[in-house]
Amino acid sequence: MKLEMGNFYVKDIVFGEKTSYENGILTVNKQEALDFVMEDEHITEADLHIVKPGDMVRLCPVKEAIEPRVKVDGRTLFPGITDNELTRCGEGRTHALKGCSVLVVGKHWGGFQDGLIDMGGEGAKYTYYSTLKNIVLVGDTDETFEQREQQKKNKALRWAGHKLAEYIGSAVKDMEPEEVETFELEPVTKRSADVNKLPGVVFVMQPQSQMEELGYNDMVYGWDMNKFLPSFMHPNEVLDGAVISGSFMPCSSKWSTYDFQNFPALKRLYAEHGKTVNFLGVIMSNLNVALEQKERAALFVAQMATSLGAEAAIVAEEGYGNPDADFIACIVALENEGIKTVGLTNECTGRDGMSQPLVTLDEKANAIVSCGNVSELIELPPMPVVLGELQALARDGLSGGWEGDEILGSSVKEDGSIIMENNAMFCGDQVVGWSVKTMKEF
């Protein structure tokens, strides 16, 4: 399977008369874009903003991030989501606007799965998205049944973001890209002797799929991953829109759709393929609730890795807590097959850093890359501009915010300063590979 990614590097974003791209400048016709968003009858209010690295702007509650792209042959960007027609991702030519994203922010209501981004100041270092030029869709919907619920599907706003990213990406559909990246892996059974001599490596992805009520979980080709069984996938499918982010996981642990589209760990394995490793592909697994389901998924993963001839594996977990059981079970099942396995995850060690890092542990899980402590306290000063509603951090049950604490008080102070757990930083732990965090030894 061969995917060509035609890249256009965005130097600046402005509003103007025509949605277009020229000489590194992405111009967006704001009214036309809003009219497109408002075609969804469930969107009751919407506005667009442009924010750039260093802007003293705070975004909250942030719900989703998507890279603007378009399929050159006219197929939909997210099959099963932006169009009900199912077509295969990972082949042909896709054009992408690099260095920017579409961010989706609630005008009012937030929840457990939503987070915060600071574009400038001390808070900017906590999330990759402060480094991007962002088109921010701030909106509200008629989904009143879940406004005051801690858990929100955020469907109308998330879908609006996916469609808007494709709408904006269409500006470069017929243009010649500045760079073409080619992602191609030979079929596993048809690789050269030189490649087959290298250690065979699989990348095991565990996207969030714990919610048994459909609509909250990550989706593959529009299929809710709670109903998914571990399956072998080509990495190109992941990078080309087959998987979208859900609306459940505590926000610092979440993988946005932008993360799936640009998954750094997958790209690094691609770069090493044929040099240091034989990259066999992706085993897409899931995160379950019942112990039996966790054990079954681990057996599937280990069987596939063994059948593919894997000598090594990397397991990446979206989340923490209950999913730790899936994560460790998968590592142990792979190690039991003689497959050397490394795990990528964050930790929940409490505000003081003294708690057990993962809910369950095993001596065979002896190679873990930590991406940070979800419970670490973060204090940030007031920000001159807030897009969305800052009070949502305290009021609406965001995973890292609270309305009242007997010692710390509310997460949102009267002057607009905040105290919160890292939990609420939008995609802040970056298990996918963006993380710039380092470890200290004491």
Q: What is the DSSP track for 87-110? A: ---SSEEEEEEETEEEEEEESS--
Give the relative orientation of helices 291-307 and 323-336 as an angle to the nearest 10 degrees: 40
Q: Are 103 and 199 in contact (CB under 8 A)?
A: no
d(CA 435, CA 345): 11
Q: pLDDT digits over 375-402, tens only? A: 999 999 999 999 999 999 999 999 999 9
What pLDDT score was predicted for residue 35? Answer: 98
Res. 439 pLDDT band, cuts 50 70 90: confident
Q: pLDDT digits over 132-158, tens only? A: 999 999 999 999 999 889 899 999 999
d(CA 329, CA 341): 12
d(CA 399, CA 422): 9
Cβ neighbours for 287, distance < 8 A, ≥ 6 positions apart: 206, 207, 208, 209, 210, 317, 318, 319, 322, 323, 326
Query: Average of pLDDT values for 103-130?
Result: 97
What pLDDT score was predicted for residue 442? Answer: 72
Q: Which residues of 165-185 are buried (b: 16+ CB within 10 A; e: fewer)?
A: bbbbbbbbbeeebeeeeebeb
Q: Average pLDDT, whole number, for the chain?
A: 96
Domain boundaries, the chain: 2-424
SS3 assignment for 172-240 = HCCCCCCEEEEEECCCHHHCCHHHHCCCEEEEEEECCCCCCCCCCCCEECCEEHHHCCCEEECHHHHHC
Q: Are 226 and 211 in contact (CB under 8 A)?
A: yes
Predicted model pTM: 0.97
Query: Average of pLDDT values for 340-358?
Result: 93
Q: pLDDT digits over 177-201, tens only? A: 999 999 999 999 999 999 999 999 9
Nearest-10 Cα torsion for 125, 127, 128, 134: -100
